[in-house]
Every structure is written in C-alpha cells, then in structure tokens.
Structure 1
C-alpha cells in the first residue's frame, strides 16, 4: 500500500494492482491513522475495489477502523453500471445520527438546578444494551407504522410538532422503506427499544453555545451565545443491528451469482438494483425510520423535563444521520448520474441552495452536527459549495484507542470525578462504559474541525461546550 500527501489536508492511498479508483483521506499528518496500529487505511484501499465505484474511495478526518468500510468512509457507486450496495458501507447501527435542540433559555437560568435536571433525565432516559423504552409499542402493526413513516408517525401520534419534521433529514422518514424485508428477529428486537439511547458512544448532552463564528447563519439555525442546547446521539438499536446481520449473510450467499469478488468478506455486496440489493435498501430505510423516531421520542422526553423544571421549550435545530446509504443524483463527467452514496460514520453536508434543504435553510445551508466526546466541545457547521466528497463530512472526533484500550488506562469513577470537578455533570449507565468513552480515547475535536474546514468539507458556525452528559 502506498500513501502520498497530495495537499495540506489530503492523502492518496493506493493498493498496487487492485485499485479501480484511488483512495483519498482528508486528514492532517497528525490525524492520519498509523498503518501499523490501525487497519483503516487498508480499508480505504479495499473499498476502492467495489464494483461500480466512481471518483474515489473517501475517508473523513475522523477516520478509524470499522466493519468493512472504515468509520468515516464514503463511497458512491453508479447504479446504471451495476454499482453495488454494501451493508459494510452503512454499519450495524443503521441511521445512527445526531439531533440538536435549542432552548429558549440561557446558561444563567440553569443555575443550581442543573443537578435536578440531570437527575430527572437520568431516571427518564432509558439506556444500556438491553430493553427499555420511552414508548411501549402495542405490537408489530404499530412497529410497522414506525418502520414506514419514522418520525412522521411519532409526530402524528402526538410526540412532537410539524416543525420537527421540517428540520429533520428527509422530513423525518425515508420514503422507500420496506418493512416486509425486515426479519421477525429484527422486529422482535425493535419492539422494546423505541425511545432509548443504547450503549457505547451514544449520549444525551446538555450544552451551551460558547462561540459563534457566523452570526447570520447561526441566527437562521436558531442559535445565539450563551444559549442552552441539547444534543442527542443514538440510532436504530438492536433492530438495525439485526438487519445488517441478516443482509450481510444474504449477500455473501448471493455474490457468486453476480460474479462479485471483494478483498474483504466484510465488504459483502450486490448490485444495488438487484432483488437482494433492493431488499437491503428497503430494510435499511425501515431501520433509518426507526432511528429517526427513536431520536424524536428522546427529544420529547427531554422537552418534558425542561418544561417541568424551567417552563422552557426546545426547538429542533436539525437531525441528520451518519450511517446510511442514499440514492442520489450527482453531476459527473458532464452528466447527471444516479449513485448509491454510502456514508459510514460520515454525515451529509448540503450546501446553500440545495433542493433537499427546507426553505428556511436554503440560504444558510444544512446544519452539520459534529460532537466531540465527554468533556470536549462539539460543533455546528454548515455545508459548502464544491464539497469534494459527494456533500459529505465527518461525524465526530474519531477514536484513537479501542474501547478495551481505553478501559485499561482509565477508571470510570476517576473520570467522572475529574469531569464533575471541571463543572460537567455526568450520569453514566456503568463505570466501564464511562471508561471506554474517555476523552483521551478520541482524537482532538478542534483539530478534526480545522481539517474538515480546510479540506472544503464544511464551514464552522458555532462551538458548544458541555454542562452535563447522560451516557449509554
């Protein structure tokens, strides 16, 4: 494998003899993974061998190893040229994403009642690896409504407002969902988890706007200095995991009939327009709708806590996924082409004027939500014209230590004490879970943002700092 720096924030990665297109990593030298310790760069090269791939296999500044694709991996395949869809390009937590809400409340109004808010949320927000949910579904018929209409169904049932849908990617639901492509096992796992954080790096964080970089765009987003915000990071829970598992197995069986060979079995794939490809895309869309509804329910539970303690309201700034494959049309080689764009640990970043933006954000561009980790800043950015990676950017700081490595070097109890001493209230599901998500296990979020901006992927609008965090 050859690695060559092509610019301040761009590296070319090539595997001799197997590249259909180049691999490109947007990173500074300090953020580039060490090939001896992290296989992410090899994964970038492997993804470049997918059938039908166009332009390049991309990796974002937060790149690190994942299942199949690296986390932070982006790749588009041409559907008309038998371009494939790969569950490895989406991940197990389908439609994992971030939702940001802005309160009509400033930091000074929280005062000494932050602890009471954190205690209420600690008891209200279900989290951890098992069952537990804000909304107990009555059965599979109601679950199929969620799989079909996502956050739209939740709002129709009284869990939110029409404006929530206007500020959510795809207006709250992917329209091509196929609940019949979801297995009974996946449905069973989804019945008891709607409205829950899960575990791992998922969180609900109380934040305040620390700095504004563009007043006009921040105003369009509904943000101002000192404002209280809530950021929620979670996905489709066990239902999405099971869908990925089911369809990886189906594709591994089907690949020989399409003459497909891949350098890594975790890149199992089929033509996106094949029966197996359409089945996966339909099931993936159903999981995406579950993830949107999941964040909608958690937002409503948080709103109730704010209303009870402060009489405050929370408006949705935006909700966007970072584990999804989308059928999009892009201009390539002088013509519009229908592509399957995989974003694995990467988020959409639409520029001003893009037709998929709600009308009130057309001039500003899409809000891009990039969280740090416990104790560090998070950022709100916007999409920019000329994005070199299919209007994509990074989704977070990116791990530099595995969960096991982090847990060996940090004690969860000690970490909580340090964060509390720094003025950040912490409520965790377990000491082990806190240790695995220690700030030292992640890259420097400020360096990641500088790189993303320098590479032309997005533009920063606001910096948010944490006051309290609920960890899965």
Structure 2
C-alpha cells in the first residue's frame, strides 16, 4: 500500500477504485513508524470504502489497530444514504475522560496522598467484573439510560455546574432501553459507579507546565495546581450492546460486500440502524452518569481525608472518545448533518461553537488527551481549524504500540509498580496482570502525540499534567 507524505504532519492514501474518499493520516516521522507495523493503514483504507462516507477517512496521531475501524479513526457519513457501524464506535461505548480542578498544591497533599488514594480505592469498585455499591432496578436503569448525568443530579451526586461542563450536557437525546437485550440489562444493573479494568484509571496529577496562561485561568488551574482525572466508560452494558448489534447486523444484513467483516453496519435511517443508535445513546448516557458518580465518590474522599468541600473540586470538562452521533459540519462550503464516528478520538470544537458551554464559548471546548500510566497527560482546547481538518476531532490518548499479550510476555506488574514508585508515583491496582498490560512502555510518546495535535491545530495545548498517584483496575 502506497502512503504519501504531504507535509510534516500529514500523510495520505490516495483514493483507488474501491475507495470512495482518500485516507488522511495525521502523524509525525516518529509516530508513523509504529502505525505502519499493524493494520491501522489498511483499516483506514477499508473505512474509506464504506457507503456514504464524506471527505476522507481520518486517522489521528495516536492511532493503532482496532476492531474494524482503527482506534484513532474519524469518519463522517451522509445522513440520508450513509451508515452507522458499531466497529466505528467501539465496544466500550462512550469510553471517555473527565478532569477536576482543585485549589490544592503538592504541599497540601504530599503527606496524605496514599491515604487519599486508599480512600478513593475503597469507595470506587475497580477491576474486571467489579460490582457497584448502588443497586438499580430496571426502572432506575431506564432513567439512567434516558437521563445520563441528570440521574446523578437528581440523586444528589452532582452539581448543576457538572452537567453544564459535560459533553452533550451529559445526556444524548432519543436514547432508549427498549431495544437492549436482557443480557445487556443484567450486566448494566450492578455496575453503575464502577471503574472496571483495562486502560481505565483514576489519577492524581500536578500541573507541570502551562502553555496558555489566559485559557488556563478560565479552566481554574495554574502551574503547580493539583488536578484529578477519571477515565472509564459504559462497562459491561456498552460491550454487550455492541456485541448484540454486531451479531444482529451480520444475521440480517451480512458482510459479503464489505472489505472487512468487522465493518458490519446498517443504514443510518434503517430500522436496525435506529435501534442501534438509540441503544448506543443509552450506553453513552450510562457512561456519562458512571463518571459523574465516580467523581462524587472522589469528592467524598477529598472531603474526608483533606477536608476539601465537594464544591471546591470543580469539573473542568468531560469528553467522550468512543461515539457516533449526528453533528452539523461544513462540507464544500455547505452545512450538512452527518453521522460522525469518533473511535478513540476526541471532539475539539473551536471558540464560538453553539454546543460549547457559555463559560468556554470565547476560548473553545476543553480537550483531554491522557497519557499512559506514569507519563504526562494534556489539557488542550478545541480550534476552529480542526473543523476543516478532521470534522473537529483530535487524538484521545497515547495509543498502544504493544499488545496486551506481548506486554505480559515481557513485563511483570511488580516491576512496573516498583519503577513507578521510584519516580515518586504511588500506584494502587487490582491485579499485577493489569499493571503489566498498561505499563508506560507499551504506549506511544504522549508528548509527541500532543505536539502533532498542537502543530496541526487539531487542538491547542493549554497545560501538561504529570501523575502523582494512580489507581488501575
């Protein structure tokens, strides 16, 4: 496959007979080599063959091979004759990140960071199959599916400001539990307010560097500020919805005309497509509510250990990075509604966009790109340039360079923990296996990912955050 370098940070796979649009890859000389080692480019090319795709199949700087679509893939489909694909959303529907600002500095927490993380660990269930402290009825789950973060507000686990500072105000409209299987429901009932495992984490951080003082001030941070980041998704219910609809689409539509079976899809406006979208939106809302409840527990821990009032831990923003939704974008000078898939990619609306909260209208939407365990994370802001470049999208993290299986062959969890603690990073994890799978060395260089995003103006760097303590599933 021929991939052509267009400029310092842009590569292109030209459209061939099977492709409806080209594939555009945003990367660097350092990052592109890892991209060439797996099936990322092949998957980007395959996505470009799908019905109704518009402009290009886009690949973000942190991209790696995924299910059907590459992780770090962005694709928009025509609302009238395009498709929606579970593989373009991912199994962990609305896996996403939120970040809290505090008025604390390192000196305020250094002696109590272990006690704080122990308390958070005790309050937030972590690990594979972990069960919630909450007990939901099916009726309550229906309310979570429809209301998202509003359910947490009604149950005194959120402030109104939290809702405002969540993507989509923490609630996708037209979500429904009506088309969700009994198995998916049974998986969702006991898991609300849990972290899970894999690459999910909770992290205590310090602001290490500020790139834009003015915007940082709006976010409520300065150099040396303590922040807290939460990364998780829709748990078992999202995974089951993805599995159920992949099977149903295969059974009812088939995949013989697709370049890859994993790209199974349905027309956006078909009955099956709409059932998937409504169910997926419900899982999106579940995930927003899940992160909100975890944040409530984090606030309780800060209050107990450090005597910090819950309202003093302010939500800067919550972003989704596994989602498909109807958005309006400029294509050939004309505003069009599209079904936009962001799979391992983050929305990055620029200043003035109608969907940004009023408090951020003048600067742009906050964007979060978390690093791997033990490395930096970035707080950025969306740009108007990203609209033309990537349908207002950017990277979502560091991106793997080594599979979990390979990581387990070469690394031991005990050694990973020891290495991190030597760097002054406290670690608490449910399993040694999980630590080995998520070691810093199995991910791309987060600084390089953020550099590419910033240089291309996919999103603009505001602050670099370094870890002080981390909890893993």
Q: Structure 2-normalised TM-score?
A: 0.97
Match of 1:112 in 2: 111
CA apart distance, 1:260: 8.0
Match of 2:337 in 1: 338
- Count of residue pairs brought into register by the alignment: 468
CA apart distance, 1:224: 1.5
Q: Deviations over 1:208-255 (max 9, x none)?
A: 111111111111112112111110000000000000011111212332
Match of 1:41 in 2: 41
Matched residues in 2 for 1:463 and 1:56: separation? Answer: 31
Matched residues in 2 for 1:464 and 1:62: separation? Answer: 18
Match of 2:83 in 1: 84
Matched residues in 1 for 2:213 and 2:266: separation? Answer: 46
Match of 2:70 in 1: 70
Match of 1:267 in 2: 263
Which shows bigger deviation, 26-35 or 447-456?
A: 26-35
Q: 1:134 to 1:220 in 2, by over 3 A?
A: farther
Match of 2:327 in 1: 328
Match of 1:218 in 2: 216
Which shows bigger deviation, 429-438 or 16-25?
A: 16-25
Match of 1:192 in 2: 190
**3-state SS, counterpart of residue 286 of structure 2:** helix
Matched residues in 1 for 2:117 and 2:93: separation? Answer: 28
Matched residues in 2 for 1:274 and 1:159: separation? Answer: 37
Establish whether residue 382 from structure 1 lines up as the match of residue 381 from structure 2. yes
Matched residues in 2 for 1:263 and 1:335: separation? Answer: 30
Q: Does the Cα contact within 8 Å between 2:383 and 2:457 map onto a contact in 1?
A: yes
Match of 1:294 in 2: 290
Q: 1:266 to 1:446 in 2, by over 3 A?
A: same
CA apart distance, 1:34: 4.7
Match of 1:241 in 2: 239
Q: 1:342 to 1:36 in 2, by over 3 A?
A: closer
Establish whether residue 100 from structure 1 lines up as the match of residue 99 from structure 2. yes
Q: 1:269 to 1:239 in 2, by over 3 A?
A: same
CA apart distance, 1:134: 3.9
Provide the aligned C-alpha RMSD in A. 1.3
Q: Does the Cα contact within 8 Å between 1:209 and 1:229 map onto a contact in 2?
A: yes
CA apart distance, 1:207: 0.4
Which shows bigger deviation, 59-68 or 449-458?
A: 449-458
Q: Deviations over 1:397-428 (max 9, x none)?
A: 00000011111111110110111111100001
Matched residues in 1 for 2:356 and 2:50: separation? Answer: 30
**3-state SS, counterpart of residue 257 of structure 2:** coil
Q: Deviations over 1:87-129 (max 9, x none)?
A: 0000000000001011121111012111111211222221111
Match of 2:451 in 1: 450
**3-state SS, counterpart of residue 451 of structure 1:** helix
Within 5 A, what are the aligned runs for 1:43-442?
43-80=43-80, 82-137=81-136, 139-255=137-253, 261-312=257-308, 313-387=312-386, 388-442=389-443
Q: Deviations over 1:308-348 (max 9, x none)?
A: 11111311000010000010111212322110000000010
Q: Does the Cα contact within 8 Å between 2:15 and 2:21 map onto a contact in 1?
A: no
Following TM superposition, where does structure 1 have runs of at least 4 consecutive aligned residues deviating by more than 4 angstroms? 33-36
Q: Does the Cα contact within 8 Å between 1:169 and 1:318 map onto a contact in 2?
A: yes
CA apart distance, 1:205: 0.3
Match of 1:8 in 2: 8
Matched residues in 2 for 1:407 and 1:102: separation? Answer: 35
Q: Does the Cα contact within 8 Å between 1:134 and 1:301 map onto a contact in 2?
A: no
CA apart distance, 1:444: 0.5
Which shows bigger deviation, 29-38 or 387-396?
A: 29-38
**3-state SS, counterpart of residue 30 of structure 1:** helix
Matched residues in 2 for 1:416 and 1:462: separation? Answer: 26
Matched residues in 1 for 2:198 and 2:35: separation? Answer: 25
Q: Does the Cα contact within 8 Å between 1:134 and 1:298 map onto a contact in 2?
A: no
**3-state SS, counterpart of residue 205 of structure 1:** strand
Q: 1:114 to 1:210 in 2, by over 3 A?
A: same
Establish whether residue 29 from structure 1 lines up as the match of residue 25 from structure 2. no
> Structure 2, unaligned stretches of length 5 or more?
none
Q: Does the Cα contact within 8 Å between 2:350 and 2:383 map onto a contact in 1?
A: yes
Q: Structure 1-normalised TM-score?
A: 0.97
Matched residues in 2 for 1:117 and 1:104: separation? Answer: 16
**3-state SS, counterpart of residue 129 of structure 1:** coil
Matched residues in 1 for 2:371 and 2:252: separation? Answer: 39
Matched residues in 2 for 1:97 and 1:413: separation? Answer: 28
